Structure 1
Amino acid sequence: MPQTVKLRPYRLADEPAAVGLWQRSWQLAYPQIDFSQRLEWFREHWSGLQLDSRIVVAECETVPDHLAGFVAVSPRTGYLDQIVVAPEMQHRGIGKALIDAAKHLGREGLYLHVNKDNSRAIAFYRKSGFTIAGEDINRRSGAPVYMMTWRPAADLPPEP
C-alpha cells in the first residue's frame, strides 16, 4: 500500500465523502445510468450498513479527510456489500489493502455480488482469491450478477 494512504475505521463525519465517492465511482463505471437518481436509495442503504457492517476507509495522509476508498463488511454474515476506490487512486494497492481488511473482518469467509458485465471487478476479485459460486439477479436493478465467495486458507495471518 502506498505510504500516503492509511486505513482506519469509518467515522460518521465520513458519510458525505463516502456517499459522493460511491456516486462518482459508479457513474464512471456505468455512464449510461444516472446515479444521482439513486442517491436517496444509497443514503438509506448506507445508514443500514452502519448498523450491521464494519466499514474501513482508506485515507490520503497528504490530503486530510480525502477518502481514497472504503469497504463495508458484515462480520455477522460475511457479506462484502461495498468496496470502492477513488478512480484517481486506482492501481496503487488500495483495493488490495481494502480486500485484506475485509478478509480480517470476515475471517470465516466472505461473499459478494458483482454485476456479470463488470469484468474489471470480477478479475480483481479472482486475483484476490474469490471464486464464482453462483448466479442471481440484482433485485433493485434487474442486472444479472455473480455471487463470489472467498474462504480463508489455514495460514491466514492473525488480525492486526
Structure 2
Amino acid sequence: MTSVRPATASDLPACAGIINDYIDATPWLPRTITREALEELFTPALLESRIVLVADNDNAIAGYASLDDKAGFLHALYLRPEARRRGVGKALLDATKAARPRGFELTVFEPNTDALRFYLREGLIEVPEGRETDTEENVPTLLMRWKGNAA
C-alpha cells in the first residue's frame, strides 16, 4: 500500500538515490553533477525551502516530489523503476496538487515521453513558449502547467 507524506531528514538519502539511479539509467540524459554532489543537495535545509513529499510503499521510499511553494514550481517528481505504472506517480502528483491548489509549473525533458503523457493525462498543459533548448544537460525541456482548482 502506498501512502504519501511529508519527507523527513531520514528520507533524503533515498530521494537522492532515486534521482541518481534515474540519471544513470537514462541513456539520453547526461550526468552534469556527480552522484556525491547530488547527494549533498539533499540536506535538512531542503525541507525548509521546499515541500518534499515521499511515496512510502511498505516502509520503503518509492518516489518523491519536490515543490517550491513560493515560486509555484515542481522541481522534481521521480520514482523507482518498480514503482512506475502502479499509481505512485499519480499519488505524488495528487498530493502536490493538494499542497499547491492554486497551480504550479514544471519542466519535463522532451525525450521523456512517458512523463509527458502522464502529465497531460493528469490535467497539465504544455506551455509552448516555455520550450527550452539551452539546458545544462543539452536536452530540450518543455514547460508544463497545472492551472489549479480554480481553473
- Common fold: TM-score over 0.5: yes
Can you list the C-alpha shifts for 1:69-105, whole angstroms capped at 9, x where unaligned?
1111111111000101111111111100100011112
Instruction: Say if 2:66 is the partner of 1:69.
Output: no
- What secondary structure is seen at the aligned counterpart in 1 of 2:34? helix
Give the letter aligned to residue 52 of structure 1.
S
**TM-score, normalised by the number of residues in structure 2:** 0.86
More divergent stretch after superposition (47-56 vs 80-89): 47-56
Question: CA offset at residue 46 of structure 1?
Answer: 3.5
Give the letter aligned to residue 12 of structure 1.
A
Aligned residues: 148
The aligned counterpart of 1:131 is 125
Overall identity of the aligned pairs, in %: 27
**TM-score, normalised by the number of residues in structure 1:** 0.81
User: Structure 2 vs 1, CA of residues 94 and 23 (structure 1 numbering), >3 Å: closer, same or farther?
Assistant: same
Verify the 8 A CA contact 2:32 2:136 in the aligned structure 1.
Answer: no
CA–CA distance in structure 2, aligned partners of residues 18 and 11 of structure 1: 11
- What secondary structure is seen at the aligned counterpart in 2 of 1:82? strand
The aligned counterpart of 2:139 is 143
Can you list the C-alpha shifts for 1:29-77, whole angstroms capped at 9, x where unaligned?
x13556495324423444464332101101122xx3x111111111111
The aligned counterpart of 2:13 is 16
Which runs of 5 or more structure 1 residues have no equivalent in the other structure?
156-160
- What secondary structure is seen at the aligned counterpart in 2 of 1:69? strand
The aligned counterpart of 2:99 is 105
Verify the 8 A CA contact 1:23 1:36 in the aligned structure 2.
Answer: no
The aligned counterpart of 2:2 is 5
